[in-house]
Amino acid sequence: MKAAKWFAPRDIRLVDVEKPVPKPHEALVRVRSTGVCGSDLHYYEEGRIGSTVITEPIALGHEYAGVVEGVGAEADPGLVGKRVAVEPGIPCLECEWCRKGHYNVCLDLQFPGGPPYDGALCEYVAVHAGFCFPIPDSMDLPAAAMMEPLAVAVHTVELAHVRPGETAAVLGLGPIGLLTAQVAKLAGIQHLFGTDLLDYRVECGKRHGADFAFNAAAMDTVETIMRETDGRGVDVAFDCARSAETPGIACRIVRPAGRGVLTGISGQRDGVFPVDVARRKELTLTWCRRFRFNYPTAIGLAGSGKVDVRSLVTHSFPLERTGEAFELVSDAGDNVLKVSIDQ
């Protein structure tokens, strides 16, 4: 089969690889759509995320959907022929964290597109059948691939313990931030601020839940939000940016005894963090590690139209043009939000 593999920073090539054979508990999925994620971009540009380094050619991609073409002897045969969104991280299901329901932090979790595991930028994937979720007829496959970032957004808001009528801010209005904004409003956030460094994403934020969105390069985030909240700050800050600075900004814009959820991946192993600010305010800070048990909710929200995922998919490329797709995202060209690799 064909696969688009990373060989070096900004060097993706289409190669021939062996088609996988499903194990007894696995499904063979014909990949039809794969989204390009911000974490993929770190690997594409730098070959690493913090201490996780690519050491050999690898297929990136973990946001994917397709059609089940076969299953192993122990998997549900009813999946064959179904269009599915695939939850990418496959945990061991046996360790203490898996048994306690925190399978997203399983130390033996196999995550596609993160070294040493090949991802979904290929024609076929063999994956644990229990992580294949059938999608409604009304949902196309590029939208189904968006269930991965939507699940991240659902888990992000879940971790914030939002109460109806509260205020919040989303730092970073890329796909994760835009989805988090939508889910936060559904959860009861009354007034939502949104910030980004790109004007077109700021405008997108206004269409997807932000009541007050602005360009953080033109207006200081802390000064603006503190002024707009009469010095109080917001109840919840969601950091959805690819920046080492935004966790600190989140701490500064949250009210005393407020909460922050840090979802964005800066790509740095270490970063400066305002411990004194967080301590003096007695903030509750939570880091978001992907998601857990959130795919059914994500499919329900998108399938019912309560969350708009489809309009965020702004560009589509075939597998053989994967390198061009990554360059577009890297350059933030043509008002790109989400690029979909479709087959």
pTM of the model: 0.96
- pLDDT value of position 272: 73
Q: In this structure, is residue 301 part of a structural domain?
A: no
- pLDDT value of position 269: 73
Q: In this structure, is residue 294 part of a structural domain?
A: no
- Residue 41 pLDDT grade (very low, low, confident, very high; cuts 50, 70, 90): very high
Q: What is the CATH number of the domain that holds 168?
A: 3.40.50.720
Q: In this structure, is residue 299 part of a structural domain?
A: no
- pLDDT value of position 270: 72
- pLDDT value of position 265: 86
Q: In this structure, is residue 300 part of a structural domain?
A: no
- DSSP class per residue in 219-242: S-HHHHHHHHTTT--EEEEEE-SS
85 shares its domain with 159? no
pLDDT at residue 87 greater than cutoff 90: yes
175 shares its domain with 238? yes
Q: pLDDT (tens digit, 9 = 90+) per residue, 194-214?
A: 999 999 999 999 999 999 999
Average pLDDT of the chain to the nearest whole number: 96
224 shares its domain with 264? yes
43 shares its domain with 139? yes
- Owning domain of residue 241: 153-287
- pLDDT value of position 55: 95
Phi then psi for 38, rounded to 5 degrees?
-60, -35
112 preceded by a cis bond (ω within 30 of 0): no
Q: In this structure, is residue 303 part of a structural domain?
A: no
Q: Report the alpha-carbon distance of residue 187 to residue 68 in Å, rounded.
A: 33
Q: In this structure, is residue 167 part of a structural domain?
A: yes
Residue among 213, 161, 217 at smallest CA distance from 192: 213
Q: In this structure, is residue 178 part of a structural domain?
A: yes
- pLDDT value of position 216: 98
214 shares its domain with 102? no
179 shares its domain with 242? yes
- pLDDT value of position 266: 82
134 shares its domain with 165? no
Rounded to the nearest angstrom, the gap between the alpha carbon of residue 222 and the centroid of all alpha carbons in its chain is 25
Provide the domain count of the chain: 2
161 shares its domain with 280? yes
Q: Report the alpha-carbon distance of residue 83 to residue 94 in Å, rounded.
A: 28
- pLDDT value of position 274: 87
182 shares its domain with 255? yes
Q: pLDDT (tens digit, 9 = 90+) per residue, 92-103?
A: 999 999 999 999
- pLDDT value of position 278: 93
- Residue 268 pLDDT grade (very low, low, confident, very high; cuts 50, 70, 90): confident
Cα dist from 11 to 25, 41, 48, 57, 259, whole Å: 34, 12, 14, 10, 40
281 shares its domain with 313? no
Q: What is the CATH number of the domain that holds 47?
A: 3.90.180.10
Q: pLDDT (tens digit, 9 = 90+) per residue, 217-253?
A: 999 999 999 999 999 999 999 999 988 999 999 999 9
Q: pLDDT (tens digit, 9 = 90+) per residue, 148-185?
A: 999 999 999 999 999 999 999 999 999 999 999 999 99
73 shares its domain with 107? yes
Rounded to the nearest angstrom, the gap between the alpha carbon of residue 248 and the centroid of all alpha carbons in its chain is 21
Q: In this structure, is residue 185 part of a structural domain?
A: yes
Mean pLDDT throughout 293-321? 98
- pLDDT value of position 292: 96
- pLDDT value of position 96: 98
* Core vs surface per residue 15-51: b (16+ CB within 10 A) or e: eeeeebebeeebbbbebbbbbbbbbbbbbbeebbbee
pLDDT at residue 139 greater than cutoff 80: yes
9 shares its domain with 135? yes
Mean pLDDT throughout 286-314? 97
- Residue 44 pLDDT grade (very low, low, confident, very high; cuts 50, 70, 90): very high
